[in-house]
A = this chain, B = another copy of it.
Amino acid sequence: MEVQVMKNILGANEETAESNKKMFDYAHIYVLNLMGSPGAGKTCLLEKTIRHLKDRVRLAVIEGDLFTDKDAARIEKLGAPVVQINTVGGCHLDAAMVEKAADKLNLEELDLIIVENVGNLVCPAEFAVGEDEKAVVISITEGDDKPSKYPLIFKESAVCLLNKVDLLEHCDFNMEGAKKDIAALHPGMDIIEIYCKKEHGVDAWCDWLVKRVEAKKGGAK
**Is there an interface contact between A39 and B91, defined as CB atoms closer than 8 Å?**
no
**Is there an interface contact between B67 and A149, defined as CB atoms closer than 8 Å?**
yes
- Which residues between 44 and 94 of chain A lie within 8 Å of chain B, taking CB atoms? 65-68, 70, 89, 91
Q: Please measure, in the bound complex, the distance between the C-alpha atom of A145 and the C-alpha atom of B166, giving whole angstroms.
A: 22
- Apart from A139-B141, A139-B142, list 16 A-B contacts with CB within 8 A: A37-B37, A38-B146, A38-B150, A39-B142, A39-B143, A66-B122, A66-B151, A68-B148, A91-B91, A91-B120, A119-B122, A119-B149, A141-B141, A141-B167, A167-B167, A172-B197
**Is there an interface contact between B2 and A139, defined as CB atoms closer than 8 Å?**
no
Question: How many residues on the A side are at the interface (Cβ–Cβ under 8 A)?
Answer: 39
A164 CB-CB contact with B under 8 Å: yes
A152 CB-CB contact with B under 8 Å: yes
Which chain B residues lie closer than 8 Å to A138 at the CB level? 39
A110 CB-CB contact with B under 8 Å: no
Q: Please measure, in the bound complex, the distance between the C-alpha atom of A119 and the C-alpha atom of B36, giving whole angstroms.
A: 12
A9 CB-CB contact with B under 8 Å: yes
Which chain B residues lie closer than 8 Å to A119 at the CB level? 37, 121-122, 149-150
A5 CB-CB contact with B under 8 Å: yes
A170 CB-CB contact with B under 8 Å: yes
CB distance from A27 to the nearest CB of B (A): 29
- Which residues between 94 and 121 of chain A lie within 8 Å of chain B, taking CB atoms? 118-121
